[in-house]
A and B are shown apart, each in its own frame.
Chain A
Amino acid sequence: MLETLQLMGQGFISALTWMNLLAMAGGVALGIIIGCLPGLSAAMGVALMLPLTFSMPADTGLIVLGAIYCGAIFGGSISAILIHTPGTPASAATAIEGYQMTLQGKAGKALATACWSSFWGGLLSCISLYFFAPLLAQLALKFMSAEKFWLGIFGLTIIAGVSSKSIVKGLMSGALGLIISTIGLDPIDGTKRFMFGQAFLAEGINTTCALIGLFSMSQVFILAEKEIKARAKAAKFTDKITLTRAERKKIRPTIVRSWIMGNIIGILPGAGASIACFLGYNSAKQFSKTKEEFGHGAIEGVAGSEAANNAVTGGSLIPMLTLGIPGESVTAVLMGGLIIQGLTPGPELFTKHAAMTYTFFAGFVLVQFFMLAIGTLGCRGFAQISRLSDAILIPCVTVLCVIGSYAIHRNMSDVVVMIIFGVLGYLMRKFDLNTAAVVLALILGPISEKGLRGALRVSDGDIGCLFQSPVSWVLIILSIVGIFSPFIMDKFERKVAGDESVDQAVQDETLS
């Protein structure tokens, strides 16, 4: 306990260096810009910025990515409020009340509510990060080869099952990713596998290139196929971006409820911020003393949605950091960032690399303060950026994809891989397959393979070794639950949130 407190304190001291503070401010600002641009998602932004973190120390690199993540989730609310177009699916519910407030000349108030609620949602979500992450990491210490294999399978079933319209299609995407993950040298005996005579494939498909292709380049193709329309003018607002004490008191219970809900959703692999925002919004409506205001610019509606989607951020990091199971696409990309830094998610992050991990946690706490400050002060500027046309975004993002994938090994072959994955990602999204499952499979595939082959080698090829330990059985059962979780989640969400909003959220999640 004392040791943990010491690590927490040390984490804050390490996080408060000029370099880290600059990384937080820059990351948040960049994240808000990405978030407020309709068409660009948080996952895409984090993927695009991954190469920039290569040369940074691990903690600073992760802080930048975490800051982009939080900033992007909040940034989506700016365009949702001002131009009635959510920048990210996570702010879809914010648009309902936020835009109504804008029409009434209360845009400043709506933006202040979004800032304030996002800040508290994100800040409170760090509590669970500090509390649950080390506990879960201790559990992961008990995992041997067989358990690691099942853990990989569990991770795939949960994300493939939940974030797709069709469970089978989600699982197919995961299986496709697993096949792709076998390209390269055999991890045990070094035999060349599926390398097509290309030496650069010896280390396998570069995860970062695949990430940039699947999330960012594919988005360019999605934008390029649609008619480019001029965006609506962002509403000019003259009211101050502040909240009165009475207003802050009014939204307090809503923030607490949304925090709990968003945090649980974040921890559950598979459910994301776009579902959380609707749950937060609907619970705010359910418990409100002024229900009649909803649909006409209710401040609690904005608070409920924004606190919930930002509360997801801290929670979603827990399964990723401790078990190596990213619950959604952004954390899958963040996990890529972790691996690039030479770190493996799991117990080691809380033992060998504890100092780095707690610095990242402290950075994540401080990022929320930067988000509040930059969000409040820069709202008017970000509002103008949110109107940027897709015609400008398409070439700019393409250039960033090319330079980003080139910078990894200073090799044009990586750019080819990125473009191939871009086309693959585009087609997958068009045909309702799941790109996040492919990324996850690319990350988990080698871990599963080492687990499977390690277990088989120890047992002289006896497959029964995979079913011997109780932990293996727990993971097998969880994998089966993972496959059926869409039905369970769907029923639960419909009960809490109502049919219409859940349909919208699921649709948004699939599109993102």
Chain B
Amino acid sequence: MKMKKTDIGVVVFMYAVCAFFYAYSSTLSDTSKTYPLFTITLLFGLTTLYLIQMILAARKFGVESGVDKVFAGFKALQFILSLVLTIAYFFMVKYLGFFTATTIFMIASFIYLKVPVLHSIIALVVMDLLIYLAFVQFLGVRLPTGLLF
């Protein structure tokens, strides 16, 4: 199997995690850092092993991009917008209250994802009702309230 260039990112990420936690562990006492150091060494060792595997695969079979497979059919705009809407939803819950934020988030998502109006209304009502009954009534969760309610 060819080496994938995308796996370089995986290796870099894992080494970065090791470096970060290793640096942070220097602030810990000796007994407290025994186990974290064991796990960091484990990840470092396995990542190095994977790197060696990658180099061997590159020498034997060559290198391929891998991007086309990882991002096959990737709809960048749709994905980014969904991510942005999710983050915006988080902040809206904090400041506008849960039900207001949920209603705005769902309507915005349905409009962007082109869901028919009737389906949108049904989904919105069902979700709000479900959350109210399951979480507020059944579990007794006090949901965040914001500017409105």
Contacts and interface: CB of A to CB of B under 8 A. Distances in A.
B39 interface: yes
A191 B29 contact: yes
B142 A395 contact: no
Interface string A435-473: 000000000010001001100100000000000000000
Interface residues of B, number: 65
B129 interface: no
Given A221-B82, A452-B34, 7 more contacts: A225-B74, A227-B78, A228-B114, A389-B115, A392-B123, A395-B106, A406-B141
B34 A453 contact: yes
Nearest to B91: A412
A55 interface: yes
Interface string B98-121: 100010011001100111000100
A284 B141 CA distance: 49
A176 B45 CA distance: 12
Interface in A194-225: 194, 220-221, 224-225
Nearest to A217: B86
17 contacts: A51-B139, A166-B53, A169-B50, A172-B14, A176-B43, A182-B35, A186-B31, A391-B113, A391-B115, A392-B115, A395-B106, A395-B123, A402-B93, A403-B141, A406-B141, A407-B135, A419-B90
Contacts of A5: none
B102 A399 contact: yes
A189 interface: yes
Chain A interface category by residue count: 35 or more
- Interface residues of chain B: helix, strand, loop or mixed (majority): helix
A169 B71 CA distance: 19
A179 B49 contact: no
B83 A221 contact: yes
Contacts of A226: 73-75
Interface in B67-97: 70-71, 73-75, 78-79, 82-83, 86-87, 89-90, 93-94
Given A172-B14, A225-B74, A431-B7, A191 B28 contact: yes
Interface string A166-196: 1011011001101101100010110101100
A396 B139 CA distance: 19
Contacts of A407: 135, 139, 141
A27 to B, nearest CB: 13
Given A225-B74, A433-B10, A172 B50 contact: yes
Contact of B36 (A179, A395, A402): A179
A491 interface: no
